[in-house]
Amino acid sequence: MAAPEFPLETTVGSLALTNPFLLASGPPTASGEQIRHAFRLGWAGAVTKTIVPDTMEILDVSPRFAAWKDEHSGLLGFENIELLSRKDESYWAAEIAAIRKEHPDRVLIASIMASPDPAEWQELACTVQDAGADAIELNVSCPHGMPERGVGAAIGQHADLVGEVTRAVRQVAAVPLIVKLTPNVTDILPVAHAAVDGGADILSAINTVQCLMGIDLETLEPQPAVAGSSTYGGYSGPAVKPIGLRMIAQIARELSIPLMGIGGISRWQDAAEYIAAGASVVQVCTAVMWEGAGIVREMDAGLSGYLAQKYFPDVGALRGRALSRIGTHASLSRSAHRRAAIGYPERCTSCGRCVTACRDGGYHAISIADRRAAIDLDRCDGCSLCSHVCPEGAIVMLPGL
């Protein structure tokens, strides 16, 4: 593996990392062997698949995934109705202790979930902490299966319950405490505040977005169909990135607590955007399931090249750099008007998609003349629809005349 152009060592709270890339809790961290494999490939840290008390029964169904794909760009969105770790506490205690010894420079975070009884959370937190976990992440955000049992998002959707669980674990946790938030709330800020008030050191967001992937029109079975039936599941992958990014930005603007950004990260650019929106580091799940843990190499090289090119001395220098540019709608300029222009006429194939879009969804400002799209500037309202619809990237938005 070629050495990165630029060192990516960074910190999140008191945790020091060799780069800002961690595996999120999920199938890629379901066993100690997978975590070791990821560490060998270059991941700076990993959050275990959520560990539960041995008394909590975890019975998974099959199949438990559904995917929304695009024939050109691959995966768009991914749904899962998977539950938590099926490995017992003693397995995880032994693996955490062993991995800690084998990879002392990597950060191993234990994700935990227990019954609504705070004492159970405390007991489990002590087990993983005593085994050597560098930090504990509280899963109060799983949107399927567990809420029916009064845990997961059933806790994370209520600020008072999040505060209660966080406070309980804080009483026993000597290592950094991370609270993983659910996006399935009207407003994430009261929950974020409750976690901070309860003693969280770091917040991570987001867990999956509750969804129903689709219905097979032949059989009318909702997907993923388990013997013909389904349930609402958790949405992840590229489609949820804008939701995660929004929530990280919202929290970063409101609170000064360190953040781990999660949701739809599959390339270095996604990670850089999360960091510019206020995250210190990022966690990745679906992209690793789809493309393998080796993606960390490209993410590492890409991010370090970007930092060098932009003269950012380190990852921390990028953190939150876009935040001051996010404000209310009313604060946006009304004078910086733009107009559509055929910026790259040689790319125009006169396919007519911009004409149709502008006619039926815009301002009737585009026609085809001399086998090229032509824009009537008097009619163009500067909405930008045509620039997004054009499959060839021929249309650009220029400052208005």
Positions annotated as catalytic residues are 142
The only residue of 166, 182, 208, 304 in contact with ligand FMN, by rule CB under 6 A: 208
**Of the candidate residues 108, 211, 240, 295, the single one contacting ligand FMN (CB under 6 A):** 240
Neighbours of 172 (CB within 10 A): 16
Nearest to 365, CA basis, from 376, 374, 373, 357: 376
Q: How far apart are CB 316 and ligand FMN at their closest, in Å?
A: 22
Identify the burial level of 78 via C-beta atoms within 10 angstroms of its C-beta, where 0-12 means exposed, 13-18 middle and 19 or more buried: buried
143 makes contact with ligand FMN (CB under 6 A): no
Q: How many separate helices (H) and strands (E) can be counted in the chain?
A: 13, 20
Interface characters, 286-315, with ligand FMN (x: CB under 6 A): xx----------------------------
Copy the structure tokens of residue 113: 């979930």
Q: Is 262 in the site for ligand FMN (CB under 6 A)?
A: yes
Residue of 10, 18, 34, 50 that binds ligand FMN (CB under 6 A): 50
Sign of CA pseudo-dihedral 13, 15, 16, 17: negative
Would you say 213 or 285 has its CB closer to ligand FMN? 285
Question: For helices 32-41 and 89-102, what crossing angle results, to 10°?
Answer: 20
Q: Give the one residue of 20, 143, 176, 264 binding ligand FMN; rule: CB under 6 A.
A: 264
Q: Is 51 in the site for ligand FMN (CB under 6 A)?
A: no
- Integer Cα distance of 391 and 193 in angstroms: 43
Query: Percentages helix, strand, coil for the chain, rounded to the nearest 5?
Result: 35, 20, 45
With tokens 């107009």, the residue in question is 339
Q: HSE-up of 378 (CA within 13 Å, CB side)?
A: 0
Binding mask 159-198 for ligand FMN (x = CB under 6 A): ---------------------x------------------
Residue of 6, 22, 82, 185 interacting with ligand FMN (CB under 6 A): 82
Looking only at residues 351 through 390 of this chain, which bind ligand FMN when binding is defined by CB under 6 A? none
Site mask for ligand FMN (CB under 6 A), range 12-31, x = bound: ------------xxxx----
Comparing CB distances to ligand FMN, the nearer of 75 and 386 is 75
Q: Using an 8 Å Cβ cutoff, are 120 and 167 in contact?
A: no
Give contact residues for ligand FMN (rule: CB under 6 A): 24-27, 49-50, 78, 80, 82, 84, 111, 139, 142, 180, 207-208, 236-237, 240, 262-265, 284-287
